[in-house]
Amino acid sequence: ASTAKKNFDGFIARAVCYGNDLLQSKHNSGQGTNSCINGPAAVCACYLAIAQADDSYYEKARKTYMAERGKLFEMSNGKPTGKIWDSYDHGSGNYNYWASTYNQGTNLGAAIMLYNHYGDQMFKDDADAIIKWSEANMANSNGIIHV
C-alpha cells in the first residue's frame, strides 16, 4: 500500500493544475481534463483511505469528485442527469459530450464509496442518477449493456 500511496501522491501533485481540483491527464496535450482520469482517481483515493486508515484520502476523493461533478456531469435544473461527459478543454472551453460505460462506472463507484463514507445524500442521488441514465441509454430492455 505504501507504493500505491507514493504513486498516487506523485500523480496528484502533477495532475492538479487548474486551481479547481480537476486533474489533467497529460501536460503535453493542451489544457484538457477527462472523466477517465478524475473518476478512477476518486475511487483510488477512497481505496487508499481504507488501506492506509487515512481519512485525508477521502477528502482528496471528495475534492476530485466534486470538481468533476461541477464540470463534467451533465446537469438539469441544478441536478445531475446521470450522464458523465468525456472531457473538457480549459483552453478552448470545448466539451466532448460523449459518454462511455467506463466513465459512468468509475463515477458510480466514486459516488457510492463517498456516500458510504460521508453519508451525504447527494452522493447517493448522484449514484442513482448515473444508474438510471446508463440503464436508459446504454442497456437493452433486459438491462444488458449494448454499447
Structure pTM? 0.93
What is the distance, to the nearest Å, from the Cα of residue 17 to the centroid of all Cα atoms in its chain?
16
| Of 25-39, 42-56, 74-88, minimum mean pLDDT range | 25-39
- Cα separations in angstroms, 123 against 47, 66, 97, 113: 17, 10, 22, 9
* Confidence (pLDDT) at 31: 75
> pLDDT tens digits for 39-74?
999 999 999 999 999 999 999 999 999 999 999 999
Residues 6+ apart with CB under 8 A from 102: 36
- Cα separations in angstroms, 97 against 73, 84, 89, 94: 10, 8, 12, 9
* Confidence (pLDDT) at 59: 97
> pLDDT tens digits for 106-130?
999 999 999 999 999 999 999 999 9
> pLDDT tens digits for 126-136?
999 999 999 99
Query: What is the total residue count of the chain?
Result: 147
How far apart are alpha carbons 18 and 34 in whole angstroms?
Answer: 13
> pLDDT tens digits for 9-28?
998 888 887 778 889 876 66
Beta carbons within 10 angstroms of residue 17's beta carbon: 14
